[in-house]
Protein backbone atom coordinates (compact mmCIF):
# COMPACT_ATOMS: atom_id res chain seq x y z
CA UNK A 1 0.00 0.00 0.00
CA UNK A 2 1.27 3.53 -0.71
CA UNK A 3 2.09 5.24 2.59
CA UNK A 4 3.94 8.28 3.87
CA UNK A 5 6.11 7.84 6.94
CA UNK A 6 5.68 10.74 9.36
CA UNK A 7 8.25 12.12 11.80
CA UNK A 8 6.76 10.20 14.73
CA UNK A 9 6.80 6.92 12.82
CA UNK A 10 3.13 6.77 11.79
CA UNK A 11 2.28 5.50 8.34
CA UNK A 12 -0.38 7.48 6.47
CA UNK A 13 -2.11 5.56 3.69
CA UNK A 14 -3.11 7.46 0.58
CA UNK A 15 -4.61 6.96 -2.88
CA UNK A 16 -3.16 8.83 -5.84
CA UNK A 17 -4.92 8.46 -9.18
CA UNK A 18 -4.53 10.20 -12.52
CA UNK A 19 -2.61 13.28 -13.64
CA UNK A 20 -3.23 16.97 -14.13
CA UNK A 21 -4.29 19.54 -11.53
CA UNK A 22 -4.24 17.80 -8.13
CA UNK A 23 -7.33 17.65 -5.95
CA UNK A 24 -6.65 16.53 -2.37
CA UNK A 25 -9.49 15.22 -0.21
CA UNK A 26 -9.73 15.06 3.59
CA UNK A 27 -12.50 12.84 4.96
CA UNK A 28 -14.87 13.21 7.88
CA UNK A 29 -15.16 11.29 11.15
CA UNK A 30 -15.19 8.28 11.59
CA UNK A 31 -14.63 7.47 7.91
CA UNK A 32 -11.65 6.98 5.62
CA UNK A 33 -10.57 8.03 2.12
CA UNK A 34 -13.21 5.76 0.55
CA UNK A 35 -15.84 8.31 1.58
CA UNK A 36 -14.67 10.38 -1.41
CA UNK A 37 -15.03 7.59 -3.98
CA UNK A 38 -17.89 9.29 -5.92
CA UNK A 39 -15.87 12.50 -6.28
CA UNK A 40 -12.53 10.83 -7.01
CA UNK A 41 -13.98 8.56 -9.68
CA UNK A 42 -15.73 11.49 -11.33
CA UNK A 43 -12.77 13.90 -11.31
CA UNK A 44 -10.12 11.39 -12.41
CA UNK A 45 -12.32 10.66 -15.42
CA UNK A 46 -12.41 14.41 -16.12
CA UNK A 47 -8.62 14.51 -16.37
CA UNK A 48 -7.67 15.55 -12.84
CA UNK A 49 -5.26 13.99 -10.37
CA UNK A 50 -7.08 12.93 -7.20
CA UNK A 51 -5.47 12.15 -3.85
CA UNK A 52 -7.07 11.11 -0.58
CA UNK A 53 -5.49 9.80 2.61
CA UNK A 54 -6.76 7.97 5.66
CA UNK A 55 -6.37 10.15 8.75
CA UNK A 56 -4.12 8.56 11.37
CA UNK A 57 -6.15 6.14 13.47
CA UNK A 58 -8.66 5.80 10.64
CA UNK A 59 -8.85 3.27 7.83
CA UNK A 60 -5.52 1.88 6.66
CA UNK A 61 -3.26 4.36 8.46
CA UNK A 62 -1.40 3.65 11.70
CA UNK A 63 -3.44 3.50 14.89
CA UNK A 64 -1.17 5.60 17.07
CA UNK A 65 -1.76 6.30 20.75
CA UNK A 66 -0.40 9.82 20.30
CA UNK A 67 -0.88 12.50 17.69
CA UNK A 68 -4.65 12.22 17.54
CA UNK A 69 -5.06 15.97 17.44
CA UNK A 70 -5.74 18.49 14.71
CA UNK A 71 -2.23 19.95 14.62
CA UNK A 72 -0.82 16.51 13.91
CA UNK A 73 -3.61 15.69 11.41
CA UNK A 74 -2.67 18.87 9.52
CA UNK A 75 1.00 17.97 9.63
CA UNK A 76 0.18 14.48 8.32
CA UNK A 77 -1.70 16.08 5.42
CA UNK A 78 1.33 18.28 4.79
CA UNK A 79 3.52 15.16 4.79
CA UNK A 80 1.38 13.64 2.02
CA UNK A 81 1.34 16.87 -0.01
CA UNK A 82 5.10 17.36 0.36
CA UNK A 83 5.89 13.71 -0.36
CA UNK A 84 3.98 13.94 -3.64
CA UNK A 85 5.45 17.41 -4.31
CA UNK A 86 2.01 18.79 -5.15
CA UNK A 87 1.67 22.31 -6.50
CA UNK A 88 -1.40 24.32 -7.45
CA UNK A 89 -3.64 21.87 -5.58
CA UNK A 90 -7.25 22.25 -4.56
CA UNK A 91 -7.94 21.02 -1.03
CA UNK A 92 -11.38 19.60 -0.26
CA UNK A 93 -12.41 18.79 3.30
CA UNK A 94 -15.64 17.33 4.62
CA UNK A 95 -16.75 17.72 8.24
CA UNK A 96 -13.68 17.04 10.42
CA UNK A 97 -11.69 17.07 7.18
CA UNK A 98 -12.76 20.69 6.76
CA UNK A 99 -11.08 21.46 10.06
CA UNK A 100 -8.02 19.60 8.80
CA UNK A 101 -7.91 21.73 5.63
CA UNK A 102 -8.27 24.93 7.64
CA UNK A 103 -5.59 23.92 10.14
CA UNK A 104 -3.27 22.82 7.32
CA UNK A 105 -3.46 26.31 5.83
CA UNK A 106 -3.13 27.86 9.27
CA UNK A 107 0.08 25.93 9.93
CA UNK A 108 1.58 25.48 6.45
CA UNK A 109 0.21 28.31 4.34
CA UNK A 110 -0.94 28.20 0.72
CA UNK A 111 2.34 27.91 -1.17
CA UNK A 112 1.19 24.59 -2.64
CA UNK A 113 -2.53 25.44 -2.68
CA UNK A 114 -4.59 27.35 -5.24
CA UNK A 115 -8.12 26.74 -3.91
CA UNK A 116 -10.01 25.26 -0.98
CA UNK A 117 -13.44 23.71 -0.54
CA UNK A 118 -15.18 23.12 2.79
CA UNK A 119 -18.09 20.68 2.64
CA UNK A 120 -20.34 20.35 5.69
CA UNK A 121 -17.25 21.38 7.61
CA UNK A 122 -16.93 21.84 11.37
CA UNK A 123 -15.20 25.28 11.46
CA UNK A 124 -15.23 27.74 12.98
CA UNK A 125 -16.21 25.79 16.15
CA UNK A 126 -19.07 23.42 16.92
CA UNK A 127 -19.26 23.84 20.70
CA UNK A 128 -21.91 26.16 22.09
CA UNK A 129 -20.67 29.06 24.18
CA UNK A 130 -21.60 32.65 25.01
CA UNK A 131 -19.74 33.76 21.89
CA UNK A 132 -21.17 30.89 19.80
CA UNK A 133 -24.82 30.60 20.88
CA UNK A 134 -25.87 28.54 17.84
CA UNK A 135 -23.37 25.80 18.58
CA UNK A 136 -24.12 22.43 20.16
CA UNK A 137 -23.88 21.88 23.93
CA UNK A 138 -21.04 19.80 25.36
CA UNK A 139 -23.56 17.14 26.39
CA UNK A 140 -24.05 16.25 22.70
CA UNK A 141 -20.38 15.42 22.29
CA UNK A 142 -20.23 13.64 25.64
CA UNK A 143 -23.10 11.51 24.33
CA UNK A 144 -21.07 10.65 21.23
CA UNK A 145 -18.16 9.61 23.43
CA UNK A 146 -20.45 7.49 25.56
CA UNK A 147 -22.08 5.78 22.58
CA UNK A 148 -18.71 5.08 20.99
CA UNK A 149 -17.24 3.58 24.15
CA UNK A 150 -20.31 1.47 24.97
CA UNK A 151 -21.02 -0.16 21.58
CA UNK A 152 -19.10 1.40 18.72
CA UNK A 153 -20.54 -0.86 16.03
CA UNK A 154 -24.18 -0.20 16.92
CA UNK A 155 -23.45 3.49 17.49
CA UNK A 156 -22.12 3.82 13.94
CA UNK A 157 -25.16 2.00 12.55
CA UNK A 158 -27.47 4.37 14.41
CA UNK A 159 -25.45 7.48 13.51
CA UNK A 160 -25.64 6.68 9.81
CA UNK A 161 -29.34 7.59 9.90
CA UNK A 162 -29.05 11.31 10.67
CA UNK A 163 -25.68 11.46 8.87
CA UNK A 164 -27.40 10.75 5.54
CA UNK A 165 -30.80 12.14 6.51
CA UNK A 166 -32.35 8.67 6.39
CA UNK A 167 -34.59 9.70 9.30
CA UNK A 168 -36.17 12.56 7.31
CA UNK A 169 -39.22 12.47 5.01
CA UNK A 170 -38.43 11.82 1.33
CA UNK A 171 -34.89 10.73 2.16
CA UNK A 172 -32.76 9.69 -0.81
CA UNK A 173 -30.23 7.85 1.36
CA UNK A 174 -29.72 4.20 0.46
CA UNK A 175 -29.02 1.29 2.76
CA UNK A 176 -25.74 0.90 0.90
CA UNK A 177 -24.63 4.37 1.99
CA UNK A 178 -25.40 3.51 5.59
CA UNK A 179 -23.61 0.16 5.33
CA UNK A 180 -20.53 1.86 3.83
CA UNK A 181 -20.50 4.37 6.71
CA UNK A 182 -20.46 1.52 9.23
CA UNK A 183 -17.84 -0.46 7.31
CA UNK A 184 -15.48 2.49 6.98
CA UNK A 185 -15.93 3.44 10.60
CA UNK A 186 -15.08 -0.04 11.79
CA UNK A 187 -11.73 0.00 9.95
CA UNK A 188 -10.51 2.72 12.31
CA UNK A 189 -9.33 2.46 15.89
CA UNK A 190 -11.60 3.24 18.81
CA UNK A 191 -8.95 5.27 20.65
CA UNK A 192 -8.36 7.56 17.67
CA UNK A 193 -12.09 7.89 17.12
CA UNK A 194 -12.63 8.77 20.77
CA UNK A 195 -9.87 11.39 20.88
CA UNK A 196 -10.93 12.90 17.55
CA UNK A 197 -14.31 13.87 19.00
CA UNK A 198 -12.62 16.67 20.91
CA UNK A 199 -10.91 17.87 17.73
CA UNK A 200 -14.09 18.28 15.72
CA UNK A 201 -16.17 19.71 18.55
CA UNK A 202 -14.09 21.88 20.87
CA UNK A 203 -11.26 23.18 18.70
CA UNK A 204 -11.63 26.75 17.44
CA UNK A 205 -10.57 27.18 13.79
CA UNK A 206 -11.30 30.89 13.51
CA UNK A 207 -7.66 31.96 13.29
CA UNK A 208 -7.03 29.30 10.62
CA UNK A 209 -9.97 30.55 8.56
CA UNK A 210 -8.58 34.08 8.73
CA UNK A 211 -5.33 32.85 7.16
CA UNK A 212 -7.04 31.35 4.09
CA UNK A 213 -5.99 33.60 1.21
CA UNK A 214 -7.08 31.50 -1.77
CA UNK A 215 -10.52 31.30 -3.40
CA UNK A 216 -12.69 29.12 -1.19
CA UNK A 217 -16.00 27.41 -1.82
CA UNK A 218 -18.12 26.64 1.25
CA UNK A 219 -20.82 24.01 0.65
CA UNK A 220 -23.35 23.01 3.29
CA UNK A 221 -26.72 21.29 3.42
CA UNK A 222 -29.53 23.14 5.14
CA UNK A 223 -30.81 19.81 6.52
CA UNK A 224 -27.48 18.90 8.12
CA UNK A 225 -28.26 17.28 11.49
CA UNK A 226 -24.62 16.63 12.41
CA UNK A 227 -22.97 20.01 11.77
CA UNK A 228 -25.79 22.59 11.78
CA UNK A 229 -25.25 25.18 9.05
CA UNK A 230 -25.94 28.33 11.09
CA UNK A 231 -22.98 27.73 13.41
CA UNK A 232 -20.61 26.42 10.75
CA UNK A 233 -20.88 26.95 7.00
CA UNK A 234 -22.55 30.35 7.17
CA UNK A 235 -20.06 31.65 9.73
CA UNK A 236 -17.03 30.25 7.89
CA UNK A 237 -18.12 31.88 4.64
CA UNK A 238 -18.25 35.23 6.43
CA UNK A 239 -14.83 34.81 8.05
CA UNK A 240 -12.88 33.57 5.01
CA UNK A 241 -11.74 36.23 2.58
CA UNK A 242 -12.95 35.60 -0.97
CA UNK A 243 -15.32 32.79 0.03
CA UNK A 244 -18.46 31.70 -1.81
CA UNK A 245 -21.26 29.95 0.08
CA UNK A 246 -23.45 27.37 -1.65
CA UNK A 247 -26.37 25.99 0.32
CA UNK A 248 -27.83 22.66 -0.78
CA UNK A 249 -31.54 22.62 -0.08
CA UNK A 250 -32.69 19.60 1.96
CA UNK A 251 -29.17 18.08 1.86
CA UNK A 252 -27.88 16.14 4.88
CA UNK A 253 -24.38 15.97 6.32
CA UNK A 254 -23.38 13.09 4.07
CA UNK A 255 -24.14 15.01 0.90
CA UNK A 256 -21.00 13.75 -0.86
CA UNK A 257 -22.98 10.51 -1.24
CA UNK A 258 -26.61 11.64 -1.33
CA UNK A 259 -25.94 14.66 -3.58
CA UNK A 260 -22.87 13.34 -5.37
CA UNK A 261 -23.90 14.55 -8.83
CA UNK A 262 -24.48 18.11 -7.63
CA UNK A 263 -21.27 18.18 -5.59
CA UNK A 264 -19.25 16.72 -8.45
CA UNK A 265 -20.54 19.37 -10.83
CA UNK A 266 -19.76 22.18 -8.38
CA UNK A 267 -16.24 20.88 -7.74
CA UNK A 268 -15.58 20.65 -11.47
CA UNK A 269 -16.90 24.15 -12.11
CA UNK A 270 -14.77 25.55 -9.28
CA UNK A 271 -11.70 23.78 -10.65
CA UNK A 272 -12.29 25.23 -14.12
CA UNK A 273 -12.86 28.76 -12.79
CA UNK A 274 -9.29 30.03 -13.27
The residues carrying an active-site annotation are 95, 224, 253
Give every CB contact of residue 85 below 8 A, 6+ residues apart in sequence: none
Cis ω for the linkage preceding 124 (within 30 of 0):
yes
**10 Å Cβ neighbour count for 73?**
26
**Sign of the dihedral defined by the CA atoms of residues 256, 173, 13, 16, in that order:** negative
Q: What angle do CA 171, 198, 183 make, to 5 degrees?
A: 45
Which conformational region is residue 180 in: left (phi greater than 0), alpha (psi within -120 to 50 degrees), or beta? Answer: alpha
Is residue 268 packed enough to be buried (19+ CB in 10 Å), middle (13-18) or exposed (0-12)?
middle
Q: Which residues contact 217 (CB under 8 A, 6 or more apart)?
A: 115, 116, 117, 118, 243, 244, 246, 266, 270
Amino acid sequence: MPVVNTQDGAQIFYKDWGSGIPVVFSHGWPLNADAWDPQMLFLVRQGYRVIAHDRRGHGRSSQTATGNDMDTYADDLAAVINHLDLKGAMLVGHSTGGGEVARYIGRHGTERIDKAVLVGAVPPIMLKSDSNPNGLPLSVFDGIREGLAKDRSQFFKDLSGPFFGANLPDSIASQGMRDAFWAQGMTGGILAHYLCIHEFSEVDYTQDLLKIDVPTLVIHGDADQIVPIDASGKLSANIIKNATLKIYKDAPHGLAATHAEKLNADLLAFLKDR
